Structure 1
């Protein structure tokens, strides 16, 4: 990976650390958790290449860097659970670009780290772009940063088993309404059960936060992904003919309820992608990122691609 953007993830290969070129070599290096933690905060993202980690050796590798693996509760993107709190990366069509974002930044609780593992590399494309959150924030016009200063309001409409988007059962990995309400209360969200069994959830969150160790201020919201403008003109127009914005599976406004201009979220999306550095995959690669300091996304691809993700607090 080049460093034309002034920052790039740190690549670690067996020869760099005097380790064997296999999962055992990587596991021995990961055993020093203090070293890995300090290095991750310093470098923001680490790419482990050349260790050829096979799928059946993935669990101990994850245990080494994700001490308290989390379920993808309250996640808003389609993915499949394939192990003990291990998931496929977002299952959007291969031709789509997934814009930059920090996992669960729309929630009051988010994972501190994410680990990605490439089981099958795409035939072409399919890189995971990563972006330094301080550079993303600095790339935005002052007008846009000022407009977001008061924060954003996220609204989700989660159906009861049939409809657009995700169901509340899939989102919270339960069919128990009491458990959902307990979770939402803990998240300081507001909610309403609809007559048709659907659930409407609203949360007000800041647009930027500071890293708890470095103090760096980073762009940390998903307004561009929740805004109808991100769907493209034709898709947004088609949905507008069917549903008012407040009834879409997800929508976003400024914290005071005011509308966010399309040009603002498109600037956020496009400049985040422009500042990103691509991590090109080879099967067996592992990527570890600090989920506050670094945003991530996905480039379009052809052929089969299978990248798994897990997270920790």
Structure 2
């Protein structure tokens, strides 16, 4: 396999930007008439802004520029808390767990093109956000594995009605109105069924790779490993298998024809993504903008309190 050059996010601080170390200085840098943000982000894939003294109460004008059409986290599968106008906490999994690499909402019919992360409070130790070049991830996979995914994937969600494993359909779609959920799903080419217990099963066929709309680069763009029980660890997978069949899990994944994905392949995908990633070690007040198609992201384990906020745009 050809060795690709090591990719790193582009870091920008007040000195390199030539502006004051203030939120206003950052906004001036972003709007000073240089290269359009879209071009800068496409070239860099991820931009990290640090040293500007950012605070939560100074975010709004910066978010309005970075994310001109801020999106709600509708149909998202990870637990979060909404803390502002389409502003959320990052995934609220226990700190001892690593969150593997993924592109936001890559299992959905539509996904955001930009993600913004703001570190309100850095962890005592750990807690980095790893980011991975999606083309490098694809090139680093065993060719037998990547070739097997050419026909795409079948994702299945079982969303409970308020009590059960995983998320409820009300939290997932940010509504308690079944008709509103159905209108949303009707535009996604998904299949869905309301079950007698009030839960909702959603099935979607999606590609495993996509081409970046600007660069044309093919990237690994799916969440096969995150939706596969084997990638959760042997003990967790065994415990889930003991209490319910795969089709009843909160979320599961198979090949597009419904055939099972070998567990060792899911683990391989997970491990290659994490090994290929570059860690962004947070300092309180840092902000990162990523191209959600070009770059996957995750989370390293941590100790102490950590609060990272997330917003997204198309």
Q: Same-fold call, TM > 0.5? A: yes
Regions of 4+ moved over 3 Å: none
How many aligned residue pairs are there?
310
Q: Distance in 1 between matches of 2:240 and 2:10?
A: 42
Deviation at 1:83, TM superposition (A): 0.3
In the alignment, what sits opposite 1:84?
85
Q: Distance in 1 between matches of 2:52 and 2:37?
A: 16
Q: CA-to-partner distance for each residue in 1:47-66, whole Å, 9 max, x for gaps?
A: 00111101110111111100
- Counting only pairs closer than 5 Å after superposition, residues 271-310 of structure 1 correspond to structure 2 as 271-310=272-311
Deviation at 1:205, TM superposition (A): 0.3
Q: Distance in 2 between matches of 1:76 and 1:33?
A: 37
In the alignment, what sits opposite 2:28?
28
Partners of 1:33 and 1:64 within 8 A in 2: no
- Counting only pairs closer than 5 Å after superposition, residues 175-194 of structure 1 correspond to structure 2 as 175-194=176-195
> Cα distance 1:116–1:33, how it changes in 2: closer, same or farther (>3 A)?
farther
Q: Distance in 2 between matches of 1:221 and 1:34?
A: 31
So what's the TM-score if we normalise by structure 1?
0.98
Q: Is the partner of 2:198 in helix, strand or coil?
A: coil
Q: Is the partner of 2:36 in helix, strand or coil?
A: helix
Q: CA-to-partner distance for each residue in 1:268-290, whole Å, 9 max, x for gaps?
A: 10000000000000111000000
So what's the TM-score if we normalise by structure 2?
0.97
Partners of 1:11 and 1:47 within 8 A in 2: yes
Q: CA-to-partner distance for each residue in 1:56-77, whole Å, 9 max, x for gaps?
A: 1011111110000000000000
Q: Distance in 2 between matches of 1:302 and 1:131?
A: 23
- Counting only pairs closer than 5 Å after superposition, residues 6-21 of structure 1 correspond to structure 2 as 6-21=6-21
Q: Distance in 2 between matches of 1:293 and 1:33?
A: 22
- Counting only pairs closer than 5 Å after superposition, residues 134-149 of structure 1 correspond to structure 2 as 134-149=135-150
Partners of 1:5 and 1:275 within 8 A in 2: no
In the alignment, what sits opposite 2:263?
262
- Counting only pairs closer than 5 Å after superposition, residues 42-81 of structure 1 correspond to structure 2 as 42-81=43-82
Q: Distance in 1 between matches of 2:72 and 2:46?
A: 22
> Cα distance 1:308–1:33, how it changes in 2: closer, same or farther (>3 A)?
farther
Deviation at 1:204, TM superposition (A): 0.3
Cα RMSD after superposing both structures: 1.1
Partners of 1:5 and 1:277 within 8 A in 2: no
Deviation at 1:247, TM superposition (A): 0.2
Q: Is the partner of 2:76 in helix, strand or coil?
A: coil
Pick which of 168-177 and 227-236 moved more.
227-236
Deviation at 1:5, TM superposition (A): 6.5
Deviation at 1:35, TM superposition (A): 2.1
